[in-house]
Amino acid sequence: MPGPDAVIDTPVLAAPAREARKAAEDRFHHQPVIEKYPGGMAGKPISIARAQTSEQAYQASLQDNPATNPYAPFTSKMDWDVARWAKLRGAGSTAFSDLLNIEGVRDSLNLSYGNSVQLNKIIDEKLPGRPKFVRSEVVVDGEVFALYSRDILECVRALWGDTDFAPYLFVAPERHYIDKDKTIRMYHNMHTGKWWWSTQAVVEQDHPGATIIPIIISSDKTQLTVFGNKTAYPVYMTLGNIPKEIRRKPSRRAYVLLGYLPTSKMKNIKNKAARRRVLANVFHACMTFILAPLKAPGATGMPVTSGDGVTRRGHPIYATFVGDYPEQCLAAGIKAFECPTCEVPRDELGEESEEHPFPLRDLEKILAALDTLDEGPAIYAQACADAGIKPIYHPFWEDLPYTNIFRSISPDILHQLYQGIVKHLISWIKSACGEEEIDARCRRLPPNHNIRLFTNGISDLNRVTGKEHDQISRFLLGIIIDIPLPNNLSSSRLLAAVRGVLDFLHLAQYPMHTSETLSHQANALRRFHDNKSIFVDLGVRDNFNLPKLHNCAHYNMYIKLFGTSDNYNTEYTERLHIDLAKDAYRSTNFKDEFPQMTLWLERKEKIFRHEKFIHWRLDGCPAPASLKPLPPGIVYERRLKMTKHPTHKSVRINSLVADYGADSFRDALARFIVQFATPSLSRAQIEAESASVSLHFNRVPVYHRIKFVTEDPYTAGGPADSVVDSIHVQPRKSMRSGKELPGRFDTALVNDGSGGITGAAGYRVAQVRVVFSLKPSHIKGLFPVGISPPKYLAYVEWFSPFTPQPEPHHLMYKVRRSMKDGERIASVIPLANIRRSVHLLPKFGPVAPPEWTSSNVLDLCPAFFVNCFSDRHVYATLY
């Protein structure tokens, strides 16, 4: 921290009390109180009789479907497996044909096709699929543009009718509360937001029994080639009725590609303003063509049948637009450096909007301006300028029912926060603190499962991705805690500002929110604004008029309208670029690519659909599952998972001391044996009794990895484990190349038996040195008859207990090694007491010591700060 001569300032922290935040987030782990939409008509089926399920309808549509062959139109399992491999995993069409042309290959495999052309014919003619792409021509300013798109209504029916989604579809809005008195509102999936409830009320006035189908649209231009200028402009769609936990996984295919917009850069138009105007008109003309079918059914409804055969009257309504800031401006028809939601002046973008709210954009006023189009270009341009939008020729949202585009522009975690605010923050910190010192600290961070080590620092990174900004933000606060600032300025305001941004970043990504946690989110943003003047004093900024910073003020409003931000995160659609644009482009001959790309995608979708049908047939054609709605939660319960066999079946105890650093292994194990057998003994009695314990063995099985997994209840076919955390416990190792890998002994959060779901109480940090087990022959003679120890044990070295309150300004806990008579205090504990890994940030002092490295810093550094930003789970756990 700054010396006695430092300039002291007074930051306004105003952080919520630790107890208040814990109380608010502990409520997440209780079942919500649900208030259903009144009347009982919303989402009601229009017929008692059920139609065919989607699998039955698919079976009926197959042209060649003998009852004895579930793989039809393919002749056998081998015939199908080779076709699936060729379309999803295989090489190009020519290579596949060459393989089948090898003498004997086709006959040996007994295939019904002899080359890729014949296989494609089977797929094209005999397999049903999602709607086909159609090439259309859009004319703007006398120029013709090619548009490849699908019928959006058929895409809605395809998603709505998917059997995998049927058990989970939300068909009516609900209000969720966290308390019985219904005073604290909760938001998570889209049906819990205010938009769905209010839209249902408006539609119900004329059409009782409506089922609202919120349409979520995303568009973003992407580069198809590393070199060159080939681009694609995909438009994606999904439904708000599908749970966000399903939508965010590309493997569940809950997004559908609606089309590819034209990508012409209009270089023939030399005037930049005219070029931008034409490009905007092309975008809106194409989006109008794609979305126009929503007008009538959005207002009056259309029959939609879900995968379980239930038919409802659905109203597909454009609800949310997902895109980065340029796309948001383009969709809303506003100029750059303006807010698509409110009328904030450009020179006030950096002000805190809660204290000085700006009026939201007036849709009625803007629609009135658009009605002046026939009065001449000059009058139209002036009317649009007065209304605050560009003079676009018929914006696509102009006639869509129940749609307000200026309330549909959802927050963008990836581009607004990681590629925006965090990117700026890192740049400011490097300018203020010096790149050399920042890099030195980055190189000396200890490893952790959730932390990427930047071994060369962060100052020379090029084309930094959102994922890399995410990783840097996880340790950013820790590396500046005690760094000296220019002009002897105190670092208190800097720490408060950075902590405010990081708190907002994590809270904004919560998968559920309450009115209480939203107030904490607003508080975090306020703390940044209260302390941001430090960057002006440091000379790295003279204003904060950044649209992405201003947009943070609207997060609370949008979460209340449409549910939490993981309903509309651009990170999901960015991932779709790989599957639906880049891979599709690589499948072409790079000439007139879009017809080839769309055909490739259609065939791939057909293979996925047929694969699901085959599983259904092989499972005995079961009826669609009927499931209760799953309760929301911050995290799924974590489960410890160990390998079936130890890494080393037999390691000498002397090696544990020499190679693993378990200096007190024998004494710690003796104490554990006594305490486990007689838990009522005092510490002094345990020490006395353990002196007489004699280990009649000299080897134990050892494990080098602890894993923690979660189960996904939304995964079709049963829960699937996903590794979310791990702890490495391994000594140094010599590679064949002669290089030596340093040992790695991670730190962990250990429950002493009284720890709760959240909070530091009942937990302590320890470094795990050995994970081992006792064989039955070991247990015999060490424990009384009928008492058996846990299967897995861990030898750990303790750090000091958590203090009642974290450190001021940065709000992280400080810990040190627990020592006694100059030696580290160690214990043997049940492995089940370890809850998760935890990352420790070294207390570097004014300058990072040169002898510290990433591999030895845990041994050399005397004090650490417990990192609460390494992942969302630890952030919601440790405060």
Question: What band does 242 get if pLDDT is binned at 50, 70 and 90?
Answer: very high
Whether 93 and 150 map to the same domain: the answer is: no
Whether 497 and 582 map to the same domain: the answer is: no
Whether 472 and 488 map to the same domain: the answer is: yes
Whether 317 and 438 map to the same domain: the answer is: no
Whether 587 and 652 map to the same domain: the answer is: no
**Tell me: the pLDDT tens digits for 621-662?**
998 877 776 666 555 568 899 999 999 999 999 999 999 999
Question: Domain boundary residue among 545, 562, 579?
Answer: 562
Q: How far apart are CA 370 and CA 363, in angstroms?
A: 10
* 463: in domain: yes
- Write the CB contacts of 549 (distance below 8 Å, at least 6 apart in sequence): 349, 350, 420, 421, 424
Its domain, for residue 114, covers 63-126
- Indicate if the pLDDT at residue 5 is higher than 60: no
**Tell me: the pLDDT tens digits for 709-741?**
987 767 654 445 688 999 999 999 888 777 889
* 866: in domain: no
- Say if strands 311-322 and 211-219 run parallel, antiparallel, or are unpaired: parallel
**Tokens standing for residue 767:** 């470094």
- Indicate if the pLDDT at residue 879 is higher than 80: no
Whether 650 and 773 map to the same domain: the answer is: yes
* 868: in domain: no
Burial classification of residue 823, based on how many CB atoms lie within 10 Å of its CB (0-12 exposed, 13-18 middle, 19 or more buried): exposed
Whether 708 and 777 map to the same domain: the answer is: yes
**Tell me: the pLDDT tens digits for 103-115?**
999 999 999 999 9
DSSP letter for each residue of 655-680 = HHHHHS--TTHHHHHHHHHHHHH-TT
Whether 684 and 829 map to the same domain: the answer is: yes
* 49: in domain: no
Mean pLDDT, the chain, integer: 91
Instruction: Domain count for the chain, please give it.
Output: 4
pTM exceeding 0.85? yes
What percentage of the chain exceeds 70 in pLDDT? 95
Whether 484 and 572 map to the same domain: the answer is: no
- Indicate if the pLDDT at residue 14 is higher than 60: no
Select from 818, 778, 772, 596 the least CA-distant residue to 695.
778
Whether 396 and 289 map to the same domain: the answer is: yes
**Tell me: the pLDDT tens digits for 682-706?**
999 999 999 988 888 999 999 999 9
Whether 516 and 537 map to the same domain: the answer is: yes
* 382: in domain: no
* 658: in domain: yes
Select from 455, 460, 499 the least CA-distant residue to 477.
499
**Tell me: the pLDDT tens digits for 203-227?**
999 999 999 999 999 999 999 987 7
> Taking a C-beta distance cutoff of 8 angstroms, is the pair 325, 416 a contact?
yes
Q: Which residues of 779-797 are buried (b: 16+ CB within 10 A; e: fewer)?
A: eeebeeeeeebeebbbbbb
Instruction: Give the pLDDT confidence score for residue 720 in this predicted structure.
Output: 55
- Indicate if the pLDDT at residue 67 is higher than 90: no
For residue 381, give the H/E element and its range.
helix 377-387
Comparing 295-304, 531-540, 783-792, 865-874, which segment has the lowest mean pLDDT? 783-792
- Looking at residue 799, its amino acid is F
Q: How far apart are CA 236 and CA 250, in angstroms?
A: 12
**Tell me: the pLDDT tens digits for 373-406?**
999 999 999 999 999 999 999 999 999 999 999 9
**DSSP character at residue 392:** -
Scanning the structure block, which residue is given the tokens 């080639």? 225
Select from 859, 873, 593 the least CA-distant residue to 744.
859
Whether 455 and 595 map to the same domain: the answer is: no
* 227: in domain: yes
**Tokens standing for residue 292:** 């126009």
- Say if strands 823-824 and 721-730 run parallel, antiparallel, or are unpaired: unpaired
Question: Domain boundary residue among 562, 577, 603?
Answer: 562
| Mean pLDDT within 317-325 | 96
* 808: in domain: yes
**Tell me: the pLDDT tens digits for 125-172?**
999 999 999 999 999 988 899 999 999 999 999 999 999 999 999 999
Select from 557, 514, 542, 560 the least CA-distant residue to 357.
557
Instruction: Give the pLDDT confidence score for residue 623 in this predicted structure.
Output: 86
> Taking a C-beta distance cutoff of 8 angstroms, is the pair 114, 100 a contact?
yes
Instruction: Give the pLDDT confidence score for residue 353 in this predicted structure.
Output: 65
